[in-house]
Structure 1
Amino acid sequence: MKFFVLGSLAVTDGATPVDLGGLKQRAVLGYLLLHANQVVPNSRMLDALWDGQPPSTARKMVQNAVSAIRRVLASAEQTCSAELVTHAPGYQLHVAQNDTDIHRFRSLVHKGRDAVGSGAAVRGAHLLREALCLWRGRALADLVEQGTVWSELSAVEDERLTAQEDCFDAELQCGRHREITPELEVLTAAEPLRERLCVQFMLALYRSGRQVDALNVYRRTRNALVDGLGIEPGPELQALQHRILDHHSSLQVPAYA
């Protein structure tokens, strides 16, 4: 079986989608997958599923969901290595790491960063793009649409954004500033307070011959930071603005790109 959380929750048995049942059953499985191979205490599960206000029947509902998930795992036509066990003080979902898209994502990101760090920016960018292509939407998007709000989901989404920023850095090293400008425009609009994205967008615009647009992005970001958080842009962003005004040679595409 393969398990997918980078998008709507999904499980496949070979190439066949598996019916995961109702919302609570899907939520229990999704939460366990976010903590795969870790013991999840009952109290933590109940708080997550009912936003800190579980009803008196909550523990029984989780037990029923666990039983149903075990039946799903047992019904696999192909060999299923996953196992959901009771482990005091809660439950533990044993699953092979390569059977989850979130592990494959993290592994590819790690390899991509290592490649960039060793000077292989082209390979690093390729690996990071491969990792990002595993995403099919927001993590556990179907549960989020039903009102699920977990800190773990925010953390996973931040992993995705950081991987995108790492990928943009690698592609800027490779001279692909024009190719990534449309993506950066969308992301900086969605994440106006994320300064690293702003730096990347300004640099991509400048290298594309769009100095005025790059400076406009700086002004927009500064206004968002001052109005939203009451702070000025950080040193890196301010320094980039000055280098753009000075047409500093350090802003050119690296010679090895």
Structure 2
Amino acid sequence: MSERPDPVRFNLLGPVNVVLADGRVVLPSGGPRAVLVLLLANADRVVSVEQLASAVWGEHRPSTAAAGLRNHVLRLRRMLGDDAGLRLRTVAPGYLITTGPGELDVADFLEGCRLGAEQLRAGEVATARQTLSTALELWRGAPFADLPPCVDGAAQAHQLDETRMKAWQDRVDADLRLGRHRELVAELRGLTRAHPLREALHGQLMLALYGADRQAEALAVYQELRKRLVAELGVEPSAQVVDLQLRILAADPSLLEPAERSGSGATVPGPDGRSVGQAAPCSSVKAW
């Protein structure tokens, strides 16, 4: 047995599956699937026998649960192949699964979001767009979709979903800075329908419409947002969105000033910083 297992791919951002080194896709079912998802949701950390048994059987645990759990782990090891013993280990008080760099889609997603946001702040706009797009493409469906009903993964899934939405906004921000206003309108229409109270997306849609020479539609988006916020939450739009609306109303040309080129060749905002999502303080629309 080698000192380090062959690389595999564990996918949790959607229905769970494992892509082995030879390209075969493993789709565990039943108890082994519940065990694998819980172990991967806690990758590189020990999960107790008690937690795993609860995930598989819930409140109706049989007297043979410990033996049954060992059988589920044995089946998983067989699925993972010759190197399984290096990955799925028995560590008191339970079991531990280890993952390497590039093997767990959740880890790659989070790192891509972090790096993309960092690149965007540094003005590496084109690079940031590619990094964020790659991270977002890892989603195949709801995260941890295969967690058993008795396991509460809602908090972890919600946190991932919020991270995804922030990355989506950052990627749209990069596209806006790159002048892709027209291409963004349809995507942002869909996003605002799916998230009708998220002001950041409405602000980005307003800017995309304005950049696409659709000023009246941009102002209509603001009015629709305001009506919804007042009716459902009893609040007015944020100062950032109000400021953007006033600048669109005044046909402020600085909203669409061409980006400059950085030394690395990536586009960055102009010296007045007037672009949605710009982190530096300025009189324009601040970061959402």
Which of 12, 19, 33 aligns to 1:26? It is 33
Contact 2:53–2:69 under 8 Å retained in 1 = no
Q: Does the residue aligned with 2:96 lie in a helix, a strand or coil?
A: strand
The alpha-carbon deviation at position 79 of structure 1 amounts to: 3.9
1:68 equivalent among 68, 72, 82: 72
1:203 paired with 2:207, answer yes
Paired residue secondary structure (1:11): strand
* Structure 2: 5+ residue stretches without partners: 1-7, 261-266, 268-288
Q: Which residue of 1 aligns with 2:120?
A: 116
CA distance in 2, matches of 1:140, 1:223: 36
Measured on the aligned residues, the alpha-carbon RMSD in Å equals 3.0
* 2:249 aligned residue: 245
Q: Does 1:215 align with 2:237?
A: no
Mapped partners of 2:139, 2:211: distance in 1: 29
Task: Compute the TM-score of the two structures, normalised by the length of structure 2.
Answer: 0.76
Match of 1:2 among 9, 12, 16: 9
Aligned residue for 1:82?
87
**Alignment partner of 1:172 is 2:179:** no
CA distance in 2, matches of 1:56, 1:145: 13
Give % identity: 32
- Map of 2:278 onto structure 1: none
Q: 1:220 to 1:141 in 2, by over 3 A?
A: farther
What is the alpha-carbon distance in structure 2 between the residues aligned to residue 65 and residue 21 of structure 1?
14
Instruction: Indicate the residue corresponding to 2:44 in structure 1.
Output: 37
Letter in 2 for 1:223: K
Go from structure 1 to structure 2 and tell me whether the alpha carbon gap of 1:44 and 1:147 turns closer, same or farther (over 3 Å shift). Answer: closer
Please state how far the C-alpha of 1:63 moved relative to its aligned partner. 6.8
Choose 181-190 or 135-144, whichever is displaced more. 135-144
Contact 1:172 1:253 (8 Å CA) reproduced? no
Q: Deviation per CA, 1:55-94, whole angstroms, max 9, x where unpaired?
A: 1417965873564144323443464552243443x54332
SS at match of 1:135: coil
- The total of aligned residue pairs comes to 252
Q: 1:185 to 1:42 in 2, by over 3 A?
A: farther
Cα 1:95–1:215 change in 2 (3 A) is: same
Q: TM-score, normalised by structure 1?
A: 0.84
Which of the two has greater helix per residue? 1
Moved more, 68-77 or 195-204: 68-77
1:158-205 residue CA offsets vs partner (Å, 9 max, x unmatched)? 111111111111111111111222111111100111111111111111
1:205–1:144 CA distance, 2 compared to 1 (3 A): farther
Q: Is the 8 A contact 1:201 1:214 kept in 2?
A: yes
| CA spacing shift, 1:8–1:251, aligned 2, 3 Å | same
* Bigger-Rg structure (1/2): 2
